Structure 1
Amino acid sequence: MKFVRLAAAAGAGVIALGLVSCSSTGGKPADSGGSGGAGGGVNTPRVTIAMVTHAAPGDTFWDLIRKGAQAAADKDNIELKYSSDKEGPNQANLVQNATDSKVAGLAVTLAQPDAMEAAVKGAVAAGIPVVALNAGIEQWQAMGIMEYFGQDERISGEAAGKRLAADGSKKAICVVQEQGSVSLEARCAGVKAGMGGGSVENLNVNGTDMPSVESTITAKLQQDPSIDYIVTLGAPFALSAVQSAKTAGSNAKIATFDTNAALVPAIKDGSVQWAIDQQPYLQGYLAVDSLWLYLNNKNVIGGGQPTLTGPSFIDKTNIDSIAALAQAGTR
């Protein structure tokens, strides 16, 4: 699957926007992140759009998605109601709440699609345009969702696995911070497929308890000294893995999916070898902006195909090009 050109064009343009800094609100009711006044870029009527994600408390990845969504909302004169919960049934309730409040549009993530299906189909049946982002690339079309913005997690995982093999890895662990997430499972399955003859074992951790994450990885490394690579599925967990390797006296290298500002120095000094970037800011931005385009001009992006925002690799060769953007909270 090739990248849809709009994604690349939007990625170049949205950085110039004025940003409103927001942090994720895992498990909390919907709230408005808008500025309260008219947006700076359009004169279309002000409408409310809801975004429901599976963000876990403290996961900085979702700050990037929300910041991109808010940038688009500010530009498009949209009141953004953002809410999140890591449990699928609770996400479905948030979708139902948005439907009942008759929002003009809805953006959802589908990490647990079975739990979300009835509520999402209910929103579609109510005439609310719905787009998906980040998770659910295999499920969005069957639910009647118009568009999808994200990466193909299986393909992303395979790219990671091939790079592990090229780095000489023989035995890796894939650290899963949220059991039951179809996206994370697809990543690890892709890593295994991409590694070819190498061995990859999934290691489940509690992603909402970082000391537990660190101790679980440490124990695994102490139990099996032959592990030569740790692959985490989020930037905060990569930094925990760095400490775990030190504590365990392990020579295992660390790589990760996704980025944040704290990861920049770790890549620069070699503590983390590389990261796969799916551009979460862009995912949030496109999800909201696409709903504005549909509401005002009936545009549908992608022609029935997902708009891919990744994967790409970030390592020592290119980290300087995005370091300032990461510090600003957009990469």
Structure 2
Amino acid sequence: MKKNWVIFLIITVFLVSVTSLAFGQEKKPAEGMYFRLVTHGGDDPFWAVVQQGMLDAAKELGCQVDIDLAGSDLALQQKRFAEAVAQKPNGIALVINDDTAWDKPVEEALAAGIPVIGINNDDSRGPAGNKRLCYIGQSEERAGYMIGLRLFQEAKEKGIDLTKAHVAMPVEVPGANYGVLRSNCIKRAAEEFGIASFEIVDAGGLEMTTAEQRETSYLLAHPETTFMIGLGAIATDRLTDSLKNAGKEPGEVIAGGFDTTAATLNGLREGYITATIDQQQYLQGYYAVNVLYLYNKYGFTPNIDTGGYLVDSIEKIDMIEKLSPLHVR
């Protein structure tokens, strides 16, 4: 009798252990899938947040992911895309930062059965210009118009003669889609306030020291500058230090731009920057992985607008600063 109880106990313990192990190793939904993000980004605070969103989604879904940061080198980005296609992944999320360079590569990848979606930058004509399956990112037109209205209204309320105002817009990569679309819509907002003087300033790429030097030099050479609007994360990040370098007081030049790096938030607190647009880029990395998974499983191709979040108050700054160390904002 005692021997039977021992055998029963051993069998029970074994079954409980096997069951627990089975539940503990429950397969995640995207296990065995591989996705790749091919971007023009660099090793900077903005893209660290995109990458964190990508990694968090991959952990939840159980898939493998990689990200390419081409550092605004279009030829290198195209090379990385070709390498990604050759790997035959379950999907590619691509920054479409040129209206012509990506048309054929995307068509060929789709024809080879590899899903391609757009993230962060899109063709200026959207699906009419590029055959990517969908787009995840902010509406650059809406974001540009929004920041323009906010800054020009600030100047109007200060009593500045806007018919004599000059708008300088530093951009990391002149001619890239994001800068062209944003600047065009800033100009559209400016025209509503009677502003007619604009200039695009070449910030020299994604290297912060270079961007700061060029912005500082421009301010010193153009004392007539009324507005300084960074068209990208790096250009906006360097505004506060550039204004200080040029001997400007907070609010002397009305400044703003895009994204919420630590230096940009600090500039908002100090009064050097009036407002910035948060495109909530964590969502671009996070949703890129999720959408590619959902396309593989169900064929879903949602367009997701992640941005247009105006940051211009202490309450919003406080919220973002709490999440910034986690690379969520």
**Matched residue, 2:53:** 68
Taking a change above 3 Å as real, the CA distance of residues 130 and 284 of structure 1, as seen in their structure-2 partners, is same
How far the C-alpha of 1:79 sits from its partner, in A, is 0.5
**Matched residue, 2:231:** 233
How far the C-alpha of 1:84 sits from its partner, in A, is 2.4
What CA deviation, in whole Å up to 9, does each residue of 1:79-122 have, x standing for no partner? 00211212222222211111111111111001124222222111
CA distance in 2, matches of 1:111, 1:40: 40
How far the C-alpha of 1:138 sits from its partner, in A, is 2.9
**Matched residue, 2:100:** 114
**Matched residue, 1:158:** 145
CA distance in 2, matches of 1:232, 1:110: 20
**What is the number of residues matched between the two proteins?**
289
- AA partner of residue 309 (structure 1): T
State the SS of the aligned residue for 2:290: helix
Kindly report which structure 2 residues correspond to 1:45-60, keeping only aligned pairs within 5 A, or say none. Answer: 45-56=31-42, 58-60=43-45
How far the C-alpha of 1:285 sits from its partner, in A, is 0.8
CA distance in 1, matches of 2:25, 2:319: 30
Query: Percent identity, aligned pairs only?
Result: 28
**Matched residue, 1:104:** 90
**Matched residue, 1:183:** 178
**Matched residue, 1:314:** 311
Match among 176, 186, 193 for residue 188 of structure 2? 193
User: Unmatched 5+ residue regions in structure 1?
Assistant: 1-37
**Matched residue, 1:279:** 280
State the SS of the aligned residue for 1:300: coil
- Asked whether the 8 Å contact 2:211–2:234 carries over to 1, the reply is no
TM-score, normalising length: structure 1? 0.81
CA distance in 2, matches of 1:236, 1:130: 27
**Matched residue, 2:63:** 78
CA distance in 2, matches of 1:44, 1:59: 29
- AA partner of residue 87 (structure 2): S
Taking a change above 3 Å as real, the CA distance of residues 164 and 266 of structure 1, as seen in their structure-2 partners, is closer
- Asked whether the 8 Å contact 1:110–1:136 carries over to 2, the reply is yes
**Matched residue, 1:174:** 169
CA distance in 1, matches of 2:25, 2:46: 25
CA distance in 2, matches of 1:40, 1:110: 37
- Asked whether the 8 Å contact 1:54–1:84 carries over to 2, the reply is yes
**Matched residue, 2:211:** 213
More helix by share: 2
Taking a change above 3 Å as real, the CA distance of residues 282 and 44 of structure 1, as seen in their structure-2 partners, is closer
How far the C-alpha of 1:51 sits from its partner, in A, is 0.8
CA distance in 2, matches of 1:209, 1:133: 22
- Asked whether the 8 Å contact 2:173–2:204 carries over to 1, the reply is yes
CA distance in 2, matches of 1:53, 1:39: 34
What CA deviation, in whole Å up to 9, does each residue of 1:170-217 have, x standing for no partner? 322111111221111111111111112123321112023333322222
CA distance in 1, matches of 2:101, 2:25: 34
Match among 83, 106, 111 for residue 125 of structure 1? 111
CA RMSD in angstroms, aligned pairs only: 2.2
CA distance in 1, matches of 2:291, 2:108: 20
**Matched residue, 2:122:** 136
**Matched residue, 1:20:** none
**Matched residue, 1:327:** 325
- Asked whether the 8 Å contact 1:261–1:329 carries over to 2, the reply is no
Larger-gyration structure (1/2): 2
State the SS of the aligned residue for 1:307: coil
User: Unmatched 5+ residue regions in structure 2?
Assistant: 1-23, 156-161
